[in-house]
């Protein structure tokens, strides 16, 4: 029992409850002192939840080293926590590999929660009329599905970047290990705050939270705003770490064009997260203040403007799409040469295309607002900038198929997921331009076509590459490989079902199915489509369940894989698995190109003393 309470996570949760209580108490006290009625739910809950997040961080120990430093005490620079065994995953650890795995598990938990929400409302949609959900419950589940999946994706890319970036650049850890731990741990209480909205009346606005609807929504809305604003710190602080590590900690000889291609994707993603995330936090805080203090930022009666919110919101939330997909595209480019046994075609072009997508991505947010009532002259320039994204994205596709050409292709599970990523992301990409040319978007905006389109981009750009990355690097984490049979079962369940789901979404969207509706007119005759989509949704869930079982089973009983099982040139595969505590323990020097497969006698890295 004592051991249980010594876990950082448990301590943090207890502290969070205490902190929330104290926050509620403070608000009541202030109201009594001001002579107001003591209880008002909204300010009390918001302040309580905010304080709860900080108390969690204090309880888990994310501040401990910083407090010690402030007092002038010594802190251990690179503590060896390996004697803690599995326990170190439940508390603050400074090891980027531990944090990477913490992120990964957290991401998979959120993915499962968000997926269950989807299954519930998909079941409701299988028939017209309302069967077992109320309208507000439907809207809440639909909104939470969106935001929980988005947080899961942000956490998922943090998982991959945290685990692999220091390994790929030959560093012993991230540039700022304590900040790294803080970035992870701030996500946990924030995630709980978001989920708590389920029990505080829910919210019926979708994940976009547009005012004035979000100003009138139930109390759960505030928990959503607060949770998202706080979880933003994970992205902002995490990306500082990635950028600093890549600039400062690269191995000798690793000039920019000899970095593994995934590093370019990580840099591009981090630039966006570092500079744009603030805007979504800001826009959400402004609505929070409008609700709490009556500040009329978006209230036309008080001189505010509802469209302003949409500009602020999409200024982050569109580039965020590239935050979600660039690491995934990086994984495709990183893994493809290993399984094709050929160099990545046009390395420099692929690297630059990541930066190109990131830069153009900042200038396109208005395409979410073609029907919004923003100034009409803004529509055409946003169409031009949006279409430009197609060019660097096209470069990636052409480079991938050119990499496949004349290779010696093998098909282990990670490669299967890489190939599925390419095709699914291709569908997502090709269905994009009709949303960019304004007049066609006037039909498509706010329909299931959009829903299908972005599920394609996010599955192709994140979900499938994430699976590929986990199958690929799992032996590095555990020393054992994931079961191939279960992996293939996972693949063959998820992929065809997903095609069915997203193609049918787009099909009924074109025919007039609006998005975010709890019920649809039987006269439209969409019921059979919805039934197929619901079945497909459950098959995808079954596939993910197989994946989770595989992770748990293989971590203990999987086939041992201590060596370079993929025959990769990358440095992390030149040392035994699982990765030693402080990574390489000795320096290596980059002496060749990263992907010179097929060039006899060449190596990418040379270790000290070899």
Partner 1 sequence: MKHYIIVAILVVICTVLVYAGLNSIGLLPVQASAQAVSIDNLFQIHIGLISFLFSLIVVILVYSLIVFRRKKGETGDGAHIEGNTALEITWTLIPLLIVIFLAYVGAYSLGEVRRIDMTALQVKVTAGQWYWQFQYPEYGITSTELYLPVDRQVDFQMSSTDVIHSFWVPEFRVKQDIVPGQVTELRITPTMLGDFKVQCAELCGASHAYMEGLVRVVAPDDFVNWIAGQQANVVVDPVLQGQQLVQQYGCITCHSLDGSTKIGPTWKGLYESTVKVDDGTTLTADDIYLKSSILEPNLYVVEGFPSNVMPSFSKILDQTQVESIVAFIESLK
The site string for partner 1 over 509-548 (x = CB under 8 A, - otherwise) reads: -xxx-xxxxxxxx---------------------------
Read off the tokens for 320: 């965020």
Q: CA dist 85 to 61, 81, 181, 406, 470, Å?
A: 18, 8, 18, 45, 21
Quick check: 300 binds partner 1 (CB under 8 A)? yes
Q: What is the closest distance, in whole angstroms, from the C-beta atom of residue 19 to partner 1 in the complex?
A: 27
Tell me which of 61, 253, 412, 434 binds partner 1, using CB under 8 A: 434
Quick check: 372 binds partner 1 (CB under 8 A)? yes
| Calpha distance 278→232 (Å, rounded) | 7
Complex with partner 1: residue 1 or 380, whichever CB lies closer = 380
Q: What is the closest distance, in whole angstroms, from the C-beta atom of residue 400 to partner 1 in the complex?
A: 8
Stretch that binds partner 1, among 190-198, 274-282, 387-395, 476-484 (CB under 8 A): 387-395
Tell me which of 66, 67, 257, 384 binds partner 1, using CB under 8 A: 384
Quick check: 593 binds partner 1 (CB under 8 A)? yes
Quick check: 402 binds partner 1 (CB under 8 A)? yes
519: three-class secondary structure by DSSP: coil
Q: What is the closest distance, in whole angstroms, from the C-beta atom of residue 178 to partner 1 in the complex?
A: 41
Residue 189 near residue 12, CB atoms below 8 Å: yes
Quick check: 397 binds partner 1 (CB under 8 A)? yes
- Reported for 294-298, long-range contacts at CB under 8 A and 24+ positions apart, including other chains, are 298/211, 298/212, 298/215
480: three-class secondary structure by DSSP: strand
Going by C-beta distance under 8 Å and a sequence separation of 6 or more, which residues neighbour residue 61? 8, 11, 12, 91, 92
Stretch that binds partner 1, among 67-75, 148-156, 282-290, 425-433 (CB under 8 A): 425-433
Quick check: 391 binds partner 1 (CB under 8 A)? yes
Chain centre to alpha carbon of residue 407: 32
| Calpha distance 559→15 (Å, rounded) | 41
- Say how many residues make up the chain: 610
Stretch that binds partner 1, among 231-239, 453-461, 504-512, 533-541 (CB under 8 A): 504-512
Complex with partner 1: residue 355 or 402, whichever CB lies closer = 402
Max CA distance (Å), the chain = 82
Quick check: 341 binds partner 1 (CB under 8 A)? yes
Tell me which of 404, 542, 548, 555 binds partner 1, using CB under 8 A: 404
For partner 1 (CB under 8 A), the number of binding residues is 92
Complex with partner 1: residue 210 or 607, whichever CB lies closer = 210
Complex with partner 1: residue 11 or 342, whichever CB lies closer = 342
| Calpha distance 182→171 (Å, rounded) | 20
Stretch that binds partner 1, among 66-74, 544-552, 582-590, 597-605 (CB under 8 A): 597-605
The site string for partner 1 over 51-80 (x = CB under 8 A, - otherwise) reads: ------------------------------
| Calpha distance 273→358 (Å, rounded) | 10
Quick check: 443 binds partner 1 (CB under 8 A)? yes
Q: Scanning residues 134 to 193, which ones bind partner 1 (CB under 8 A)?
A: 135-136, 139
Quick check: 412 binds partner 1 (CB under 8 A)? no
Q: What is the closest distance, in whole angstroms, from the C-beta atom of residue 577 to partner 1 in the complex?
A: 23
Complex with partner 1: residue 386 or 534, whichever CB lies closer = 386
Quick check: 395 binds partner 1 (CB under 8 A)? yes
Q: What is the closest distance, in whole angstroms, from the C-beta atom of residue 103 to partner 1 in the complex?
A: 31
Strands (E), 172-249: none
Phi, psi of 175 (to 5 degrees): -65, -40
Residue 561 near residue 475, CB atoms below 8 Å: yes
Complex with partner 1: residue 11 or 318, whichever CB lies closer = 318
Question: Which secondary structure element, helix H or strand E, spans residue 415, and what is its range?
Answer: helix 413-430
Q: Scanning residues 3 to 22, which ones bind partner 1 (CB under 8 A)?
A: none
286: left (phi over 0), alpha (psi -120 to 50) or beta: alpha
Q: What is the closest distance, in whole angstroms, from the C-beta atom of residue 572 to partner 1 in the complex?
A: 20
Tell me which of 29, 32, 430, 591 binds partner 1, using CB under 8 A: 430
561: left (phi over 0), alpha (psi -120 to 50) or beta: beta
Going by C-beta distance under 8 Å and a sequence separation of 6 or more, which residues neighbour residue 433? 387, 390
Tell me which of 204, 334, 456, 572 binds partner 1, using CB under 8 A: 204
Quick check: 590 binds partner 1 (CB under 8 A)? no
Residue 245 near residue 226, CB atoms below 8 Å: no
Residue 115 near residue 544, CB atoms below 8 Å: yes
Complex with partner 1: residue 204 or 334, whichever CB lies closer = 204
Read off the tokens for 590: 């980059």
């Amino acid at each position: 029992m004592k051991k249980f309470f010594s876990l950082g996570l448990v301590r943090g949760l207890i502290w969070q409850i205490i902190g929330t209580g104290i926050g509620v108490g403070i608000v009541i006290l202030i109201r009594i002192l001001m002579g107001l009625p003591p209880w008002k739910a909204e300010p009390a809950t918001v302040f309580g939840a905010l304080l709860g997040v900080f108390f969690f961080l204090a309880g888990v120990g994310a501040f401990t080293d910083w407090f010690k430093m402030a007092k002038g005490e010594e802190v251990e620079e690179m503590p060896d926590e390996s004697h803690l065994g599995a326990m170190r995953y439940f508390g603050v650890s400074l090891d980027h590999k531990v944090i990477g795995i913490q992120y990964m598990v957290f991401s998979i938990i959120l993915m499962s929660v968000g997926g269950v929400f989807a299954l519930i409302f998909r079941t409701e949609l299988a028939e017209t009329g309302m069967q077992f959900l109320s309208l507000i419950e439907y809207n809440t589940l639909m909104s939470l599905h969106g935001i929980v999946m988005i947080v899961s994706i942000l956490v998922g890319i943090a998982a991959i970047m945290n685990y692999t970036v220091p390994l790929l650049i030959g560093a012993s850890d991230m540039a700022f290990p304590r900040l790294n731990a803080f970035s992870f741990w701030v996500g946990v209480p924030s995630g709980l705050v978001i989920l708590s909205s389920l029990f505080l009346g829910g919210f019926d606005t979708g994940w976009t939270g547009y005012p004035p609807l979000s100003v009138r929504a139930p109390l759960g809305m505030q928990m959503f705003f607060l949770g998202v604003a706080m979880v933003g710190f994970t992205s902002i602080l995490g990306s500082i770490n990635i950028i600093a590590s890549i600039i400062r900690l690269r191995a000798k000889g690793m000039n920019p064009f000899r970095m593994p291609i995934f590093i370019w994707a990580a840099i591009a993603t981090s630039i966006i997260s570092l500079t744009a995330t603030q805007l979504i936090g800001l826009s959400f805080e402004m609505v929070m203040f409008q609700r709490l203090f009556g500040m009329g930022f978006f209230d036309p009666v008080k001189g505010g403007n509802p469209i302003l919110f949409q500009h602020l919101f999409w200024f982050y939330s569109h580039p965020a799409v590239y935050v979600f997909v660039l690491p995934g595209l990086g994984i495709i480019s990183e893994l493809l040469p290993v399984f094709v046994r050929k160099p990545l075609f046009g390395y420099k072009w692929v690297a630059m295309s990541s930066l190109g997508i990131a830069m153009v991505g900042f200038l396109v947010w208005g395409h979410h607002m073609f029907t919004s009532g923003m100034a009409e002259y803004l529509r055409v320039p946003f169409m031009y900038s949006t279409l430009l994204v197609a060019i660097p994205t096209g470069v990636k596709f052409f480079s991938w198929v050119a990499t496949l050409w004349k290779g010696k292709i093998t098909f282990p599970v990670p490669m299967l997921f890489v190939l599925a990523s390419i095709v699914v992301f291709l569908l997502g990409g090709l269905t994009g331009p009709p949303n960019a040319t304004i007049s066609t978007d006037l039909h498509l905006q706010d329909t299931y076509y959009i829903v299908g389109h972005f599920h394609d981009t996010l599955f192709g750009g994140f979900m499938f590459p994430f699976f590929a990355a986990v199958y690929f690097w799992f032996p590095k984490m555990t020393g054992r490989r994931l079961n191939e049979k279960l992996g293939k079962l996972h693949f063959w369940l998820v992929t065809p079902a997903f095609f069915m789901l997203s193609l049918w979404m787009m099909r009924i969207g074109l025919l007039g199915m609006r998005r975010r509706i709890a019920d649809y007119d039987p006269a439209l005759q969409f019921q059979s489509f919805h039934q197929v989509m619901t079945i497909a949704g459950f098959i995808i869930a079954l596939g993910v369940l197989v994946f989770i079982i595989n992770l748990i089973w293989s971590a203990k009983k999987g086939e041992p894989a201590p060596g370079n099982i993929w025959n990769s040139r990358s440095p992390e595969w030149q040392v035994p698995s699982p990765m030693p505590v402080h990574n390489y323990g000795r320096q290596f020097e980059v002496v060749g190109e990263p992907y010179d497969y097929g060039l006899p006698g060449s190596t990418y890295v040379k270790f000290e003393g070899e």
